Amino acid sequence: MEVIQLEALGFQTIGNRRLISNNEPLPQNGNVMILDTNVIKDISSFYYGNKRKHDNDLYILTKYIRRQMKSTQHSFGPCGLCYELGLSELCLSRDDSVNYSLFRPYGSAICKVLTAPNDEYMNIFENHTGATYNVDDSQDMSIANTIGRETIYLPIFYGSLLHLLFIRSDKKNRGKDPIELFKQHYEWKQEELGFVSAYPTLLALYQLVGKDGTGDKKQYRGKTRNLTKLDPQQIKHPNDLAKCTWNAAWDIYLSYRVSFLIKMAKLLGYFAGQHTHSQLF
C-alpha cells in the first residue's frame, strides 16, 4: 500500500486554488488530475450564473486544467482528468439516493468548459449571461453506473469508520485497554462487513493505539484523529455521528483513490515509457 503524506507533497497556488502534487518540484505536466468538489461547484456556478462577472482566478484555473488535459493520454477518465469522483461526492447522499438533477448540469458544465474549442472557451468567460441547461434524464442509468463504479468501496470505509468513531465516542470505553478496543474493532469488521480494508484499519490502529508526543514520529494519534474531525461534545444524536462519519469516509476514501489512480497511471506510464505524476485540486 502506498501511503501519501500531504506534508511531503508539492504545493502551488493556481487561480487562487491550491494544487497538490505527488512530485516536488511540481512537474509541468501531470498524468492524473483529480478535481475537488469545490472546484466542480465553482466552475458550474460560474457557467450557469446569471449576470456573471469575469472571474480571472477561475479563468486561470480552468486554462491550466485544459492544458493539463492535453498532456494526458486519456483526457477524461481515471488516468486523465478525474472529475466523476468529486461529482459523486456532491450528488450521493448517505441513504444511497442520487441527486440526478445536480449531477447532470454539473457534469455538463465541467465537460463544456474544459473541452470547448478555444474561441468558445473564451466566449464563456467574456459572456455575462449564464448558460441554460436543458433537462435530459436519458443518461441517468449511466450516471448511476458511474457513481457505483467511483464509490464501490465507500460503504466499507463508511461502515468501518462508523464503528471506529462509535468506539471512540462511547463513554463506556473510557479507560479500557486500547489494544483490546482495536481487536474488538478489527473482529467486528471481519464478522459484520466481511471485508478488511487497509486504509480504515491503519486509521483505527493509529487512533486507538497510537502515541502522542512532540516528535513527528510520535504524533500518529493526533494527526489521524484530525482526519475524522470527531468532537464527542457535538454528538447529541446518532445522526450526528453518522454525518461526521460520512464526511470522514469521503476524505479517507479520496486518499485511497488518489493512491489507486497513481498506481494505475504508473502502470500505463510504464508500458508507455513515461514518468507518472498526479495532481489534486
Encode pLDDT of 71-107 as tens digits: 665 455 555 677 888 899 999 988 878 999 999 999 9
Look at 271 and 99; give whichever has higher pLDDT: 99
Look at 3 and 26; give whichever has higher pLDDT: 26
> What is the radius of gyration, based on Cα positions, of the chain?
21
Bridge partners of 278, per DSSP, are 32
User: Is residue 65 very low, low, confident or very high in pLDDT (cuts 50, 70, 90)?
Assistant: confident
pLDDT in tens, 198-248: 888 888 888 888 876 666 655 567 677 777 777 777 778 888 888 888 988
- pLDDT, averaged across the chain: 78
pLDDT in tens, 12-45: 677 777 776 655 444 444 566 778 888 899 999 9
Counting Cα atoms < 13 Å in the Cβ hemisphere of 193 gives 22
Helix, strand, coil percent content, the chain, rounded in steps of 5:
60, 5, 30
Residue 261 has pLDDT above 80, yes or no: no
Residue 272 has pLDDT above 70, yes or no: no
**What pLDDT does residue 9 have?**
39
User: Is residue 180 very low, low, confident or very high in pLDDT (cuts 50, 70, 90)?
Assistant: very high
pTM above 0.85, yes or no: no
Helix (H) or strand (E) holding 70: helix 56-71
**What pLDDT does residue 273 have?**
44
**What pLDDT does residue 3 have?**
33
Using CA atoms, how far residue 80 sits from 34, 108, 136, 269, in Å, is 8, 17, 26, 12
